Every structure is written in structure tokens, then in C-alpha cells.
Structure 1
């Protein structure tokens, strides 16, 4: 099985649209399957200059300035947008891209960005996420000419025309999270992909087993859900280049080797192969230095062909 490699960015740490465009176009040119970005409005360290960019505004622009690479979020927060608005936005960007969009949706966790920009942050958010997943997928799957209604604790929709429709027959939906019971059940109910974000390496296989059990309980086969992980990327053609890249993102080499796709080319290949052996099918490579396009080139030329 060939491991699917995607590029994942964190623009809230400081990136303009033009910077993201350069990374997305390099992602496409170098043969990675997708360009993804986080959906955050506040830096998690540093000054964050020039400031945040909105995830779906960014992806709308990239939809028109790329042609083959898939585009999506890891992950949009259910606290940021009403589900009807989100369904319209994502379907429109899917149309703009010719059917290349994927939606990662989560409950949201970063309280500071909510208080910084006046976004409500309820203490209990899992119910919001569950209802948003039901509404978004329900709107998209409603046949043209029919209407969609929903009555929940958080949202009510009455006779929605459920338009516009995506270009794809079904936009892939990505769910993640570490809960022992509710999150696996949610993934089994709504998701096309389950993502583990920055897990401990030895916890990945056991978590896949948990998700597969939830799929079985829901009457789904393991093959119906893609298993993915997101891990930090820091690879060098030699030890000196790796050490330089670690320093550029403010991380210690030993810590990166323990938690990410890090080290020399051979070390990166070994880590990715071990993930594949645990049942991982797709890896989101978290690129933190968005100016270092040579980093992507190295992985595309030296790492990917060995997988």
C-alpha cells in the first residue's frame, strides 16, 4: 500500500495569503495529494504577524489558483460558523475547485482565540459538533428539489432548499479527537476519514483498533474509513540540515525525532513505514516553516518515492 502524503500548514502562526499560495502551488507541483490548513484566528506563540487568514476564504482563493491538489481543513471549529453557512461555504469552494475539497470538522478547543475575536465559547461543545455534522451532511445529501429540516438542541432548520450542491457527489468529511466512546461513534456515523492529531507514536495502532470497533458496531467495514495521522515534519539531507530545520521552528532535535517525521531521510522513511505497518493510510506533514520550500522538495524527491 502506498502511503498518501499531504502538506498541512498552521497559518495562524504568521502567514499571508501569498505565502500560503506559494506553499499550495509547490504542494501541487511536487506531487503531494493535498494542501490542508488549520482553522484558527490566533497565534499560539510569537507575534503571529502579519495576522490570521480565514480558512475558507483562503481555500476559495487557492481553489482558483491550483488545478489538481485537494484542499481542506484540519480542522474547522464548530464554534466559528453556523452549520448552514458552513455547508454553503464549503459547497461553493468545492464548486470553485472543480470538486477537490474536504472538510475536517471539530468541536474547537482554543478559548483564547474566541475571547480575542468575540466568538462565543460554550463549555460543552460536543453537541454542537454532532449537530453540525448531521446538518452539513444532511444538506449536501438532500436531492435537488427536496427540502431539509432539522430540529436539535442547538440548531433548527425548516424547509431549507439545501443549496448549493457540491461539485463532488460526496465531500469527504474528516473527524478526529481522542475520546474513548463518543468520538469513535461520531466518526463511524459521519466520517470518511479519522484523523489522529499529533498522537504519541505507540498510541496510534491501539487507537485505530478502537475506531475499527466503532465501525463494526455501526455496521461499517474498516475499509470504509481512511485512517490518518498529523505529525510535525523536520527532515534534512544530513544531520546538519535537520538540526538547522529544527532550530528554525524552535524545536529540539531529540523531541522531534520522538514525536514527528524527523531526522535524516532514512529516519523519515523508517518512521513513515512503521506508521503504515500500524494501519495508517494517510499522513499530514505539519510544515511550520512556510518559507522553506526546499524542505517540501526534499521530501518529495527523497522520501516519498521510497514509500
Structure 2
């Protein structure tokens, strides 16, 4: 069975205001590029080739779900019942909603104006093992030098739900993000086992290699490698606020990353490997070419009762707001 979307049906949408020009693909509702007025390079990684978004650039800028991140062996517990979610090969775990999660869907355009687009996709009851028919919308809005992403979802059965935007940022448009400076407002992080599944511990960042309270160069001597969930809150619902700051060493550009979510997965892009033809900026894309900041609930929350819950009932609406504030 061919699970790949028809690339001939994919649309490219351009949003513009005085400060930003952003390209959105309906494939995965993906952010393909972000250009800030006065700079010639995209601030996020993207490819001009749609076929890359099926393989080498899978997840670049996509909205991933219905449950982002890893679910241990695909075992999900919903209302006391165990569901089996398919592994996302080559992993033995369920990752980013499975082989055909929302990042692999060709979303529909619901509304579009110069500085806003609303995209939608529908997930069937039982699709990728999840209960409930789900309608997912994402709104991309330009607000001065800010790109706002709002994700909403509704269901007709009790289910689980945890979406994330998966853009890779490089504020200089070239080089390694290990030279960028990063700060994260997190007092705790989640240790993981050798398959990147949380152990269940919630560990203080203070005094550890994961302490990013102060702006620091990412790849300093004690760099631990980042594919890590930083715990921002134990509460599922928070007002939108700055949770991380990234600064490029060459341009001096900054990104203030804001979200309502209780966690942020930070991934250093160590497995990126694409040739120059797959880069909307110049040159090949190699390990550490971009930093993924993925606002979300904590990974494997369905199996960890002390993590912020990710259940969604028919009477409720899932909502996330995340903002990329450039300066």
C-alpha cells in the first residue's frame, strides 16, 4: 500500500507583511522558509524539493501528531484501556504520530489572506491505532516580526493528543547551531534511556550540563547532546510566554520562542544529512545544521501518570499557541 501523499496536490502558500515573508507547504502544514526583512537567508531549514519532505527532510517544519515525540513501544493507555500504536521505523517506538501522522498529510486550505492561513486535516477513528475521529486546524499568522502558530483539535471519542511544530532554526543560515547561544527557562529536564524513552525521573537542570538558565554557547566543552525534553511546567494550560532564546553568532539575530505548552523538546539535528540541492539556503546540510525547538507536552505522557496529561475528551478543544519572535 502506498502511504505517500500525492506531491502533485501539494500547494505552497506565501504569507507576507512588512517584516516577514513565510512559505507554508500544505504537505505536513510545514513551514518551508522564513525570511526576515533585510536578510537574504531563511531562518529555518527547508528544501526546494517536495520529495525531500517524504525522506531526508521528513518533519522539516511540519506539524507532527496526533501525538508528537516517542510513545514507548507504541503502548498507549486511554481511560484504562491499552491501545497499540504502530512503530515509526526504523525505531521500535511510535514517533510523531506514526508512519502517516499529521506531518505526512496533505492538509486542506480553509482560509487564506496576505498574513494568515488556516489549514486543516481530518484523522479517522482507528487511524494509526488511535480512538476518535479528530479534526485538526493550524493557523499561521504574521504579527510584525513574529510568526504565530495556533493548533486546535477536537475529537468525538476520548483520545490522546499532543501536537508539535518541528521547525529547525539556524539564525545565520549556515554553519553549525553548536555555535549559537541558547537559554531555556526550565528548572527540570527528563532523563532518557538509550532508546530516548523517558525513565520517569524529573531531574533538576541546576548544576547539570542541561542548565541553560543563562544564555550560553550550545556546543561548549560539557555539551551533553540534545534530544531532550525540558520541563517548563506541571500544568497543561499556561499563558503564552517566552521559554527559550536563541542567538546567532554571525548575524546577531535572536529568536524569542514563546509557547503555552508545558514542555519543549530540543533536538540538535545531529542526524541531518542532505546535499546542497536540498537546501533553500546555500551549501549541504550536515549534522547540527539546525536546532529543532518543539513545544509540546512531555513525551510518553500516556504511560507516565505524573506527567502533564494529554487526554482529550469530546467536550474539550485542544489548543496550543507558539510564537517565533525574531529580532
TM-score, normalisation: structure 1:
0.25
Structure having the larger proportion of residues in helix? 1
**TM-score, length basis structure 2:** 0.24
